[in-house]
Structure 1
């Protein structure tokens, strides 16, 4: 990956501006129609001076990304990772200077990927509920992991650890209790904020308090702000051990200076030093390929002729809702939609912006900012799953640098 200084961004396309502000493209189009925004008549781009007052634009203008890249760990901070998957979070933490001493993952293909790329990592394969964490003799500085979002029992009165029994969060909480890391970072889907009307997150907060940790206010991070060409959002929970909570202050990572698009992912430039190589990938059946060929870049099923809409959508055609993921072709000039565990699922189509086919493995990996030398193991289906479930590496590295800064303060 390249560290060259990017060109200064002085304008935004309507699509990228919509992503930046987390609004539908039609909202920007409506503002253009009202004259509130005035694109350049030749390029169609909206000058930065028209939106410079917006918080998102200000945060990018004031970015400390380049300074944060210079952060060095004052010593080898130890990292334990749970639910490690295909390595996105662990690799980002490694790039930030943290040292993985123990990684647990149940999926055998993901474990093969981790071992193949990092033979020196201590990858422990198996069900987390059966893992013996007492074998870890070192002090643990950081514990990370993305536990699945599951409903908890509300039968108990304490709304603490016991109420989460039988869930994978319970297993992660037990590991935190046993290992007593200085700080932990847990990532999850945005929906956890409102899961069970907020009851799930309330119990999680209570559990961390019970375990002796001060929880930072949970924050939803958008990958597009962290040099990732993808509209992915993840809920991040950071907890600091109470005895250290007053000796250092955790700071969330600064956004990057511009938004990356699929062009940045697939072409030589700021993210990668070569064009993406051809790689294995799923293929469309012939008739689906013929229909998808009619969808323009950035378009979806409503851009098809009425007869093709009905043929493709079948019974869904008569149901309500936008169903914007169906027959969806990506655009080179926008970040990718959030990757799923398969690029050719009918509800969440991820068609290549120019060629009529699903995204290939290396394209998938680049959108998640995995380096080209990170090789995935297992079947095609297993590889898509590992990549689709991963934390984007660049976002993980930004979080890792924030953790390193925090730990450096403690060391001081």
Structure 2
């Protein structure tokens, strides 16, 4: 059957773009089109294909509710997911026995990924736009229906040490606070909050380093490190939730990647849950299997037909000299200086420059773009960045899990995700507590490469810091 011919105005409505943007897409060959007079004519099927493979226009904040005929499986514990991304964390908790009845996401490409793989899920947009009643309605739950678990990783840039660290003064930090509000309003049996390591040191109020020193007033309690997390803990505990947290390396949970994230676990009954139960250890300690490697993850991924970015030729010159597991430091000194330019004389470890992965180690933390000069993630032997397919394997996404959007958007979604194995460990901990089963605990287990990251150790450290700076006057008031 012949495809319907449409004009610029109709295409703009389908893609949620301006008519000028549509003309530019036609002119650049992004959408097959024929110029007739002063306008463009195209096949509707081509326009919809473009919509399906890219993220166009503003975010689609439409609410997708569960259809009446799609009844919830009440035999499974119910979970709600916020800041869902490409659903790495959600797939993990599903593997442990939960049913995710609702997702929440604003990013257009992520929303397409969610609907492509979970077409029957309830999906809402910005959490700030919905009351707890509206969230329940979208999920097909009544006020009397108990929610077993809420999970979410609020935007982390406000707390990242790589950013300005504005914390709750940042718009994204305010989203974090709204998420806490919704948890307390929905009152799930358990809540899990995932975030970057930077949240352990983020202050409640950030003062730029240029405004610190002897000529400035001393830091206030709100400006001391750890204030943001202390505020979160106070709010949750005042509401009756028991709280535990730690910084976890995903490699300890069967993930072929060294990726560290803070996981905060909250229990409505006021009980403090134990730490996540590791399934692997770096060198096989405690009788556990050794960490999984990059080779384990991608051994049967085809090297042909993969989707990947390319390095510029000037960088390939150096990659051709590097073996698996090597980086710029393995080049002769003159070539190190040539390859890095001014960055050679800059401080920092510079470990991401000209970096080939090693076959027999876990992957480094996946980034959102594997071909940026300071964060290269090159294949151990091929002269290219890791492919999208290899990214999925490292993050433990099933091969049939379709990531929507452009190539860059696919990398970004996978790179931002919580590894499925870490999500499964979270779900398994909650499920075991929910059913009364025990959790295997390993004394002095090294969950991450950092010290003082467990709740008790961290709070003792922060208390000492506050006494040192504030004495008896330490207060957030």
Q: Alignment partner for residue 252 of structure 1, among 241, 266, 276?
A: 276
**Kept after mapping to 2: 8 A contact 1:95/1:397:** yes
Alignment match, 2:296? 264
Q: Alignment partner for residue 228 of structure 1, among 236, 255, 274?
A: 255
Q: Alignment partner for residue 199 of structure 1, among 214, 227, 231?
A: 227
Matched, 1:131 2:124: no
Q: Which runs of 4+ in 1 moved over 6 A?
A: 161-166
Distance 1:95 1:230 in 2: 19
Distance 2:158 2:239 in 1: 20
Matched, 1:328 2:335: no
Distance 1:133 1:143, change over 3 A: same
Q: Tell me, what secondary structure is at the counterpart of 2:436?
A: helix
Query: How many pairs does the alignment contain?
Result: 320
Matched, 1:210 2:242: no
Shift in Å, 1:108: 0.8
Distance 1:277 1:81, change over 3 A: farther
Higher relative CO (Cα under 8 Å, sequence separation at least 6) belongs to 1
- 5+ residue gaps, structure 1, are 1-72, 153-160, 269-273
Alignment of 1:79-228 (within 5 A): 79-124=79-124, 126-135=125-134, 136=136, 137=142, 138-149=145-156, 167-196=174-203, 197-216=225-244, 218-228=245-255
State the Cα deviation string for residues 13-48 of structure 1 (Å, max 9, x = none): xxxxxxxxxxxxxxxxxxxxxxxxxxxxxxxxxxxx
Distance 1:148 1:165, change over 3 A: closer
- 5+ residue gaps, structure 2, are 1-72, 137-141, 160-167, 204-224, 281-288, 438-477
Structure 2 length-normalised TM: 0.63
Task: Say what the alpha-carbon RMSD is for the aligned residues.
Answer: 2.5
Distance 1:378 1:74, change over 3 A: closer
Q: Tell me, what secondary structure is at the counterpart of 2:180?
A: helix
Distance 2:112 2:278 in 1: 33
**Kept after mapping to 2: 8 A contact 1:277/1:362:** no
Shift in Å, 1:165: 10
Distance 1:117 1:277, change over 3 A: farther
**Kept after mapping to 2: 8 A contact 1:267/1:276:** no
Alignment match, 1:52? none
Distance 1:312 1:81, change over 3 A: same
Alignment match, 1:355? 382
Distance 1:287 1:164 in 2: 39
Distance 2:383 2:91 in 1: 32
State the Cα deviation string for residues 156-203 of structure 1 (Å, max 9, x = none): xxxxx9999961211111111210000100111112111221111111
Q: Alignment partner for residue 379 of structure 1, among 389, 392, 406?
A: 406
Matched, 1:78 2:78: yes
Shift in Å, 1:399: 1.3
**Kept after mapping to 1: 8 A contact 2:298/2:390:** yes
Distance 1:118 1:199, change over 3 A: same
Q: Tell me, what secondary structure is at the counterpart of 2:226?
A: helix
Distance 2:158 2:182 in 1: 20
Matched, 1:238 2:265: yes
Alignment match, 2:24? none
Matched, 1:299 2:331: no
The structure with more radius of gyration: 2
Q: Tell me, what secondary structure is at the counterpart of 2:374?
A: helix
Q: Tell me, what secondary structure is at the counterpart of 1:386?
A: helix
Shift in Å, 1:150: 6.3
Distance 1:368 1:150, change over 3 A: closer
State the Cα deviation string for residues 115-166 of structure 1 (Å, max 9, x = none): 1111121122x222112331312321100000124669xxxxxxxx999996
Shift in Å, 1:392: 0.4
Distance 1:166 1:401, change over 3 A: closer
Distance 2:316 2:102 in 1: 44
Distance 1:378 1:167 in 2: 28
Distance 1:400 1:255 in 2: 14
Distance 1:279 1:294, change over 3 A: same
Distance 2:405 2:91 in 1: 19
